Amino acid sequence: MPDPLADIITMLQPHAPISKLVLASGRWRVSRTEVRQVYYCMMLAGSARLAVEHKSPVILEPGDFALVPAAFNFEMSSIEPPVKGEQSVRVRQADGSFRVGSLTETADTQSLVGHCVFGSPDAALLVSLLPDLVVVRGEDRLAMLTRLVAEEVHSARSARDVVLEHLLQVLLIEALRSSPDATAAPGLLRGLADERLAPALRMMHAAPDQNWTVAKLAREAGLSRSAFFARFSRQVGAPPMDYLVSWRMTMAKQLLRNGQKSVSEVAAQIGYGSASAFSFAFSRQVGQPPGHYAKSGEAPPAP
């Protein structure tokens, strides 16, 4: 049976990473505002403070791995950062590493930092299903994967881009499935961690063409209709049928972009009894008819 988390990471198409070793000393602060980039950090030595917008700061220690799939503003700094607003200059060293903070003191903090982007046109929708911050402590597999990504980034071996894409997919999946379930924000991760909701989520992903109703999904979960609706909405962050429609439309957009299926075939594959019913639902969700979307390959700009 398909795995919803694997489905989403694969569809996100992570690629074009940047990986670098960062050494820091003294008081320092580096802020990020690239909302379309994924940020990850493996602490190798020392301690650092990670502050993500609207969340309490987190202290990272050696062996800790942090992942920010998408955040409007966040910053990494020393435990005691400089005065508010002061940013540190990043200085590239001869060996390719970067220094921040005091350049005259011995570096007391080392971290392996990486950025990547999602190639999917539906990245915003897919990322919204993931937590906005993941911190995993002392997971050796993540340390190994992070180092493999860094080595591949700086190599010139054949099939480098293919290897990197697959490594990044594994890295993201490992980070997300290793994160403490209790701390995850409402979304797919919390839904899959719920033993009652996970079967229903997997069925929606495995058979989107089925005529699912809240009652049928509730039976898969072994819950009453009202209990399932309330629990799904609370854990996933959206009512079950809203989630199903979003997933169906994400699949539909991918199928239409591929250009190998007609509108009627796409409608049947994702669970609509007629092309007209699918066209109405697609237009309402995406903002243009599926035929127009198939020709353009992209959604219309947001107003």
- Per the domain annotation, does 187 fall within a domain? no
Confidence (pLDDT) at 303: 33
Q: Hey, CA dihedral for 93, 73, 50, 7, is it positive or negative?
A: negative
Whether residue 46 sits in one domain with residue 164 = yes
C-alpha separations of 190 from 17, 21, 61, 81, 176 in Å: 27, 32, 25, 33, 10
Do 151 and 98 reside in the same domain of the chain?
yes
Does residue 92 sit in the same domain as residue 225?
Answer: no
Q: Which are the contacts of 152, defined by CB distance < 8 A and separation ≥ 6?
A: 160, 163, 164, 167
Query: Given 180, 213, 236, which residue is the final one in a domain?
Result: 180
Task: Tell me the pairing of strands 14-25 and 109-118.
Answer: antiparallel
Q: Are 41 and 76 in contact (CB under 8 A)?
A: yes
Q: What pLDDT is stored for residue 196 in this prediction? A: 95
Give the CATH number for residue 251: 1.10.10.60
Q: What share of the chain is helix, strand, coil (3-state, %, to 5)?
A: 45, 20, 35
Beta-strand runs (E) in the chain: 14-25, 29-32, 37-45, 48-52, 58-60, 64-68, 74-77, 91-92, 98-101, 109-118, 134-137
Strand 14-25 relative to strand 98-101: parallel, antiparallel, unpaired? parallel
pLDDT digits (tens, 9 = 90+) for 104-119: 899 999 999 988 888 8
Q: Do 129 and 61 have their domain in common?
A: yes
Among residues 126, 150, 180, the one where a domain terminates is 180
Is residue 101 domain-shared with residue 237, that is, in the same domain? no
CB 22 within 8 A of CB 108: no
The verdict on 160 and 281 lying in the same domain is no
| Average confidence score pLDDT of the chain | 88
Residue 28: closest CA among 77, 63, 94: 77
Q: What is the pLDDT of residue 300?
A: 42
How many residues are given for the chain?
303
Residue 114 lies in a domain: yes
- CA distance linking residue 56 with residue 144, whole number of Å: 28
Residues 68-95: tens digit of each pLDDT: 887 668 899 999 999 887 889 999 999 8
153 membership: H or E segment, kind and range: helix 140-153
| 13 and 116 housed in the same domain | yes
What is the pLDDT confidence band of residue 120, given thresholds at 50, 70 and 90?
confident
**301 belongs to a structural domain:** no
pLDDT one-digit tens code per residue, 149-187: 988 888 878 888 889 889 999 999 898 888 765 556 788
Q: Note whether 175 and 214 are same-domain residues.
A: no
pLDDT recorded at residue 277: 94
Instruction: Write down the H helix ranges in 182-239.
Output: 188-193, 197-206, 214-221, 225-236
Let me know whether 212 and 174 are in one domain.
Answer: no
Domain containing 232 equals: 194-296
Binned at pLDDT 50, 70 and 90, residue 299 comes out as very low
* Residue at a domain's end among 126, 157, 180: 180
Q: Does residue 303 form part of some domain?
A: no
Q: Is the pLDDT of residue 223 over 70?
A: yes
Residue 119 lies in a domain: yes
User: For the stretch 22-53, what's the b/e string if a residue is b when 16 or more beta carbons lie within 10 angstroms of its beta carbon?
Assistant: bbbbbbbbbebeeeebbbbbbbbebebbbbbe
Same domain, 216 and 69: no
Say how many Å lie between the first and final Cα of the chain, rounded.
Answer: 39
Task: Fill in the amino acid letter for 105.
Answer: E
CATH number of the CATH domain containing 137: 2.60.120.280
Number of structural domains (the chain) is 2
**Which amino acid would we find at residue 233?**
S
- The answer to whether residues 18 and 146 belong to one domain is yes
The residue with tokens 């508010």 is: 84
